[in-house]
Structure 1
Amino acid sequence: MPDAPNSRATRQRKQKLPAPAEATEGRQQRSARRKRETRARLLDAALRLVAEKGMDSVAINDITEAADVGFGSFYNHFESKEGLFSALVEWVFEEFADMLDRLASGLSDPAEVVAVCVRHTLMRVRREPVWGLLLIREGFSVHALSWGLGQRLLRDSQSGISAKRFVVPDHFLCLISVTGIIFAAIASELHYSARVTPVVERPNASGLDEQNFAERAATVVLQALGLKRAEAERIARLPLPGKPEIKVCRTKTRVR
């Protein structure tokens, strides 16, 4: 059959051409990827700006300019600045709180759960100062206890009290006290971090340049919950379970 070679070549050329459905799927995937990237840039820019100035001092055009995104594109991802802020809180805090839950899922001692959470929180602050700045700025807001980290602390402290592991005269005031300790530790970590103050300028008496600062803070938190110092120190120095899988925020800033 003389036309067999030509027919075979035609079939091969047709096989190389993408089907209409495949081409459409490829365009949809590229569009979805660009949309995810744009949304991430907006969140990343908002993280830095809100951490530095606070939500009320940041306008939508500030965020779009910092993200190098058109003003109109903002509304393709968020209905309002408040909507972006809610997404930012979920991205920055809720995912981290969920990660802490996974790490502590195999622990039966409420005291160890609290210690693990405190240590990982301070360790992340050292890695990501902007995250710590936002945590301090928004952590003292009126709705702080309704967020993931606040809700976990409330839940874990109540669990320890119910199990008679924690002995406190007033749960609510104890929670406020513990929260204050944690935020003070975060502020200290930010202030004396190697990213902020050169090693030669750090006050040696503070001990904040030592690797066990997170453990020391966890010890104080456990003492505030009613544990004796020796036991609190032992629990705060136990090996950390697993390794945290954190979506590191790309934004970097210099803490002042």
Structure 2
Amino acid sequence: MADKATKPVPDETRRKPGRGRRSREATRQKLIDAALRVMARKGVDGTAIADITEEADVGFGSFYNHFKTKGELAEVVFHVHAEGISAITKTIARQEKDQAVAVSFIHKVFLTKAVADPVWGWFLIHTANWLPELWSVFAEQGTDDIRRGIAEGRFTVSSEETAMRIILASLVATMRLMLDGQAKAGLEAETIECLLRMLGVPGDEARKLSRRKLPAYVAELLRQKTSEPGAASAD
């Protein structure tokens, strides 16, 4: 007689834990995607947990199986999507030998990404004030880029930290105008030109750099990141 302890476990029984785990992960992703869309429309303060669970089409109690607070979820949403743009800007910093060229492309990436993925753009705008500490993800990398530009003799600012704060504030303000449909023709290039001038790039050169198209490798990275799951469309 076969030992019951050594009886083969039915395939269906073995699959159940896997299905449960996948279901849990799927629910968590639904909440992240829903929070991105709702917070992009209403801002973080104006968003209730019930708004998120309704958008995600999950039970209200499911929220607390994955996140403790709305703020924690907002941080997760930010980091999930910020990693993609951060990867692009790091690639640019490695590829471009001239730091002025690299920085001009990085500024253009921020603005281009916001217009191509407006849900992410509005989320960024709303979190700029609500979760300012998260912007250290961009500020630290940007400050390092400016510091390298100073070492190369391309930039002449006396404080890279202050310059970076001005840059982020300017990019967010321009982003808002572009997403609101209030941007005049050429605003993107004008913003980048002004920021390059502030860093110490001569006027004529700053103007030329601000009007350069993104190179093919950057455009392709942007296309990939914008088309990845989680890059929501505006409703």
CA distance 1:26–1:116, change in 2 (3 Å): farther
Of 197, 204, 228, the residue aligned with 1:223 is: 197
1:84 aligns with 2:99: no
Asked if 1:36 corresponds to 2:39, the answer is no
Identical positions, percent: 28
- Give me the whole-angstrom Cα distance separating, in 2, the residues matched to 1:231 and 1:152: 24
Provide, for residues 192-241 of structure 1, a one-character-per-residue CA deviation record: whole Å limited to 9, x for no partner: 28xxxxxxxxx8xx215xxxx54443222211211012222333315425
Which ranges of structure 2 fall in alignment gaps of 5 or more residues?
Answer: 1-7
The aligned counterpart of 2:231 is: 249
The structure with more radius of gyration? 1
Matching of residues 63-78 of structure 1 within 5 Å: 63-78=52-67
Moved segments of 4+, more than 6 Å: none
Question: Take 2:55 and 2:17, find their aligned partners in 1: how far apart are those partners?
Answer: 27
Choose which of 185, 190, 195 in structure 2 pairs with 1:207: 185
Residue 59 of structure 1 deviates from its aligned partner by 2.3
Query: Are 2:187 and 1:235 equivalent residues in the alignment?
Result: no
| Structure with the bigger percentage of helix | 2
Aligned equivalent of 2:108: 119
Residue 146 of structure 1: CA displacement? Answer: 4.5
Alpha-carbon distance, 1:79 to partner: 2.7
Gaps of 5+ in 1: 1-18, 194-202
Contact kept, 8 Å, 2:67 with 2:73, in 1: the verdict is: yes
Query: Does the aligned pair in 1 maintain the 2:119–2:232 contact within 8 Å?
Result: no
- Matching of residues 42-57 of structure 1 within 5 Å: 42-57=31-46
Task: Tell me how far 1:88 sits from its aligned partner.
Answer: 1.0
- TM-superposed CA distance for 1:161, in Å, is 1.9
Amino acid at match of 1:224: M
Q: How does the TM-score come out when normalised to structure 2?
A: 0.79
Give the CA RMSD over aligned residues.
2.7
CA contact (8 A) 2:93 2:102 kept: yes
Query: Do the aligned partners of 2:93 and 2:145 also contact (CA within 8 Å) in 1?
Result: no
TM-score (normalizing by structure 1): 0.74
Q: Distance in 2 between matches of 1:220 and 1:232?
A: 8
**Distance 1:181-1:27 versus aligned 2 partners, 3 A rule:** same
What is the identity, as a one-letter code, of the residue corresponding to 1:207? Answer: A
| SS state at 1:57 partner | coil
